[in-house]
Amino acid sequence: MEQRKKRVLGNWKMNLTSHEVRQLAEGMKEMPLADGVEVGVFPGFPYISMVKELLPQIRVGAQNFYPQENGAFTGEVSVLQIKDLGATMVLIGHSERRAIFNEDHLFLKKKVDASLNAGIKPVFCCGEPFEIRNTGGELSFVKQQLEDSLFHLSKPNLMKSVIAYEPVWAIGTGLTATTEQAEEMHRSIRGWISEKYDEETANGISILYGGSCNASNAKELFACPNVDGGLIGGASLKADTFQAIVNSF
Ligand code: 13P
């Protein structure tokens, strides 16, 4: 059976202007990419094509899009527009979009379908807030997020997707999940896929960890059998730390 892909993806969020993007890309140009690890970044919309040109050796994605083909949606960006700029993947379900922009599970489901219809790989984010972890409800919470917005997919479409487990309490806080916490969730996610689909699907899909993942903790997280890499926020904004994470397998 084909080994599932290891991936390290950088979510630059709403950071960097063109000069800073150029500087970061310059640092990343020199970086020796690790063998067998797919590397990618999600710059802000205005810089997608620039990053694509500056870093042709890695994947470039968008952080968002609006799931309508075109039309009167002032200020929004369509999946065809991000594709046109060179994006081949897109973040869907990030906790910041769920919490700040009130994206609910039906809207996320629409985005998942629209991205796959356009041939763009969805990187579907899930994860529980602190109150849920605190009361021990994290497994059922995350399972529900996946059932609500991702598990309607056909097997071939699910296989084209990537899942990122990002506990909300770990994002930007410096509180990384322990290897036990990460592995338990990743193993459970794979188990649910196995139940809903089959073992081949469960074993073929990359499940990334995100949330204060950095150059010091990536090695032990990536050593967990069900953790296939990371979705990196803050630590992806510096070429050397991002490279150190890429080298952590
Ligand atoms: P941090 O790595 O800054 O915690 O962010 C994680 C994240 O939200 C990636 O999408």
Shortest-distance atom of ligand 1 to CA 212: 4
pLDDT for 30 equals: 79
Which CATH fold topology does 6-29+57-246 show?
TIM Barrel (3.20.20)
Nearest CA to ligand 1 atom 2: 233
To test the ligand 1 pocket, which listed residue (213, 217, 245) has its Cβ within 8 A of the most ligand atoms? Answer: 213
No. of H helices and E strands in the chain? 12, 8
165 phi and psi, to 5 degrees?
A: -90, 115
Paired residues of 68 in beta bridges: none
How far is the CA of 246 from the CAs of 7, 32, 242, in angstroms? Answer: 8, 10, 6
Nearest alpha-carbon partner for 184 in 209, 203, 211: 209
pLDDT for 33 equals: 77
Q: How far is the CA of 88 from the centre of ligand 1 (A)?
A: 20
Q: How far is the CA of 238 from the centre of ligand 1 (A)?
A: 14
Q: Tell me how far apart the alpha carbons of residues 84 and 82 are, in angstroms, rounded to a whole number.
A: 5
Q: How far is the CA of 8 from the centre of ligand 1 (A)?
A: 12
| pLDDT above 70 as % of the chain | 99
When the pLDDT of each residue in the chain is averaged and rounded to a whole number, the result is: 96
State the pLDDT confidence band at 2, using cuts at 50, 70 and 90.
low
Catalytic residue among 103, 138, 166, 183: 166
pLDDT for 17 equals: 98
- Number of residues that make up the chain: 249
> Is pLDDT above 80 for 32?
no
Shortest-distance atom of ligand 1 to CA 95: 8
pLDDT for 34 equals: 78
> Is pLDDT above 70 for 1?
no
Q: Give 152-209 pLDDT, tens digit per residue.
A: 999 999 999 999 999 999 999 999 999 999 999 999 999 999 999 999 999 999 999 9
Model pTM score: 0.97
Angle between helix axes 239-246 and 18-29 (nearest 10 degrees) is: 40
Concerning whether 131 is annotated as a catalytic residue, the answer is no
pLDDT for 97 equals: 98
| 230 pocket-lining for ligand 1 (C-beta < 6 Å) | no
Q: Tell me how far apart the alpha carbons of residues 98 and 59 are, in angstroms, rounded to a whole number.
A: 25
Instruction: Supply 80's token pair.
Output: 């065809």
Q: How far is the CA of 239 from the centre of ligand 1 (A)?
A: 16
Catalytic residue among 94, 96, 103, 183: 94
Concerning whether 94 is annotated as a catalytic residue, the answer is yes
| 208 pocket-lining for ligand 1 (C-beta < 6 Å) | no
State the pLDDT confidence band at 134, using cuts at 50, 70 and 90.
very high
| 232 pocket-lining for ligand 1 (C-beta < 6 Å) | yes
> 109 or 4: whose pLDDT is higher?
109
To test the ligand 1 pocket, which listed residue (8, 63, 232) has its Cβ within 8 A of the most ligand atoms? Answer: 232
Instruction: Compute the chain's Rg from CA coordinates.
Output: 17
How far is the CA of 105 from the CAs of 95, 146, 201, 203, in angstroms? Answer: 12, 9, 23, 25
Tell me the average pLDDT across 42-61: 97
Residue spans per domain, the chain: 6-29+57-246
38-59 burial, b for 16+ CB within 10 Å, e for fewer? bbbbbbbbebbbbbbebbeebb
| pLDDT above 90 as % of the chain | 95
